[in-house]
A and B are shown apart, each in its own frame.
Chain A
Amino acid sequence: MGSDRTEGGAGRLALFLCLSGIVLTLAVAAATAIGDYNIGLRTVFLSVTNELGLTGAEIAPIEQSVVWNLRLSRALVAALAGAGLAICGAILQALLRNALAEPFVLGVSAGASTGAVCVIVLGIGAGGLSLSLGAFAGAFAAFALVAMLSNGATSGPNHTILAGVAASQLFNALTSYIVTTSGNAQQARDVMFWLLGSFGGVRWPDFQLLLVVVFACLAVCIWMARSLDAFTFGDEDAASLGVPVGRIRLVLFGVTALLTATIVSMVGAIGFVGLVVPHAARYVVGPLHLRLLPACAVVGAVFMVVADIVSRVIATQQTVPIGVVTALVGVPFFAIILYRARPQT
């Protein structure tokens, strides 16, 4: 594990974060350059510096606009969404002591889809209520139901997981009911496409909102990282190490719900990132959360940006939903986790 002498292994983490930072920058640059219409890296760079007022190079306005208004904002939102989902996954895996926990285990995505369907199909709050707001409201309704079913998140992990399953089933059923009874084929297709996730519509205001939410949530989680470690041997053990178990649980469930709801309402329910990335990061930096959480953030960001590039180039003249790409990578990984998690004796 190499974590012996100093607990931090701070040097290793710093090196890892530096390298990941470079890879992330390259990935974002690539995501900005690659598309239906490829733009040279030099042009990409100059467009960005132009917009930031650092240079005044001659660039075709259309290219500058594509780079700045469409692709860069999209790539950065993808990075933040990946980071956010990976952090949520790591937190929930620790709190629920379950290797298969992921951001949607608390029913948030099912709730979001119901909220979105209410807006798309039923036209609730037409005009006044955007798709994102509907999804956000649905996500929080689902989370509130789970929190209530699990007694304010104070009961054990299995109880919470069951509550999440129940809420997911309920909201998925509601979604299907609404779509089948009142939707037409086109609306059903819209819903389906939205559920699988897309970075298509995102713009700078989305980035700004997500930036604030992701960093605020990451800060709270890092502040509580030591307490998360104490959950290694269960709730009671954490309590005997001086951790206020009920409060930590409630705060961190709230944080993950807020983060997931914000991401889902913006770009749809993108699966598997929150499951896969924490496991991958744990292999590299070990199980201590003070290291794991920043590592998850950068690995998740890189993964999502790369997945977004793949989703745009994999089929010509088509954008494959991002959730399809992450699942194509995620499912084999999931299989490996299942294989490794089988009883050892």
Chain B
Amino acid sequence: MSVIARNLSWGVRRKTIVSDVSLTVAPGETLGLIGPNGSGKSSLLRLLAGLRRPATGQVEINGRDIGQVPRKALSREVAFVQQSAATDTNVTVADVVRLGRTPHRSALAGWSETDESAVTEALERVGMTSRRRQAWQTLSGGERQRVHIARALAQAPQVMFLDEPTNHLDIHHQIEILRMVRDLDLTSIVALHDLNLAAMYCDRIVVLQGGSVCACGTPEEVLTPDLLRDVFRVSAHIDASADAGRPHIRFTAE
């Protein structure tokens, strides 16, 4: 399913946070969204997912303007994974993943075979099947993130948005989560901080600066020493890594 944004702008009071962003994501693609702190990554992600209404511009998912699609219908196609969402409620892993079926159920409908298999498959996909009865509170950060992704998968979406899914995770879990996202058979748009991880796992990268797109393309095209200096204010060498020719960034000490 394709995602097309046209001239999106959004702000709080007088401060413009996202300004005139246009981008296109092809079906099945994994798009990385990078940029320094405060560049508008999270806000843009929420605009694209329909969680916020743009001041101007529009988002089309699969050819339909999402402003015209009802909330519930939209969430049957689009899932959103927040960064480290937490709760005090005493819920199990299975309870959390079942929440993903909310948009597919009417107010009093029973639990169907389709619902159950969606939950089972989602847990399987993130390797948490054996934990389904475990209490949410007892999970580690990486496990919680995987359960959130399972919940998003149980929504049976065609597009998934992830807001810094690797935050606070150790390197093993960062790689594991991103590999999983890349291998999913859906369109995904991921806001990321780690440039090397973005280079390794994204098909294309969009660089945001001050709320606008300042570069867009494959990792090789986008990640250049000039861009890193201008946008992130760091000096770096870019090597072609042995890993499928993806660029590898080496930051220099000075």
**Interface residue ranges, A against B (CB under 8 Å):** 1, 3-4, 6-8, 97, 99, 222-227, 229-230, 232-234, 236-237, 239-244, 282, 286-288, 290, 341, 344
Contact = CB atoms under 8 A, between A and B. Distances in A.
B51 interface: yes
Given A3-B92, A232-B87, A344 B102 contact: no
Contacts of A230: 99, 102
Interface string B20-55: 000000000000000000000000001001010000
B99 A236 contact: no
Contacts of A4: 92, 94, 132-133
B212 interface: no
Given A242-B71, A242-B72, A344-B137, A229 B87 contact: no
14 contacts: A1-B133, A3-B95, A4-B132, A7-B115, A226-B102, A226-B107, A232-B87, A240-B75, A240-B79, A240-B82, A242-B103, A244-B71, A286-B95, A341-B88
A232 B71 contact: no
B110 interface: yes
A230 B73 CA distance: 16
Interface in B77-123: 78-80, 82, 85-92, 94-96, 98-100, 102-103, 105, 107-108, 110-111, 115
A290 B71 CA distance: 22
Contacts of B133: 1, 4
B155 interface: yes
B204 interface: no
Give chain B's interface residue range (CB within 8 Å of chain A). 35 or more
Nearest to A1: B92
A282 B111 contact: no
A344 B136 CA distance: 13
Nearest to A341: B88
Contact of B51 (A7, A236, A244): A236
Contacts of B100: 241
Nearest to B104: A242
B76 interface: yes
Q: Which 3 A-B pairs have the closest CB atoms?
A: A242-B75, A242-B103, A242-B72
A237 B85 contact: yes
A316 B96 CA distance: 52
B99 A240 contact: no
Given A99-B88, A240-B51, A240-B79, A287 B95 contact: yes
A224 B108 CA distance: 9
Contact of B49 (A3, A232, A240): A240
B175 interface: no
A137 B238 CA distance: 70
Nearest to A240: B80
A229 B99 contact: yes
A229 B102 contact: yes
B177 to A, nearest CB: 18
B105 to A, nearest CB: 6
B180 interface: no
A130 B105 CA distance: 46
A230 B88 CA distance: 14
Contacts of B71: 239, 242-244
Contacts of A240: 49, 51, 75, 78-80, 82
A241 B92 contact: no
Contact of B99 (A1, A223, A224, A241): A241
A341 B137 CA distance: 12
A232 B97 CA distance: 12
B74 interface: yes
B75 A236 contact: no
Given A224-B107, A282-B90, A241 B51 contact: no
Contact of A233 (B86, B103, B155): B86
A239 B85 CA distance: 13
A344 B92 CA distance: 17
A67 to B, nearest CB: 38
B95 A242 contact: no
A84 B13 CA distance: 41
A123 B107 CA distance: 47
Nearest to A244: B71
Given A97-B88, A236-B51, A236-B82, A288 B95 contact: yes
Contacts of B102: 226-227, 229-230, 241-243
Contact of B111 (A8, A97, A344): A8
A136 B75 CA distance: 40
A230 B104 CA distance: 13
A233 B79 contact: no
B110 A8 contact: yes
A1 B132 CA distance: 11
Given A237-B85, A341-B88, A223 B108 contact: yes
A97 B88 CA distance: 8
Contacts of B51: 236, 239-240
Contacts of A224: 107
A232 B95 CA distance: 10
Contacts of A241: 75, 99-100, 102-103, 155
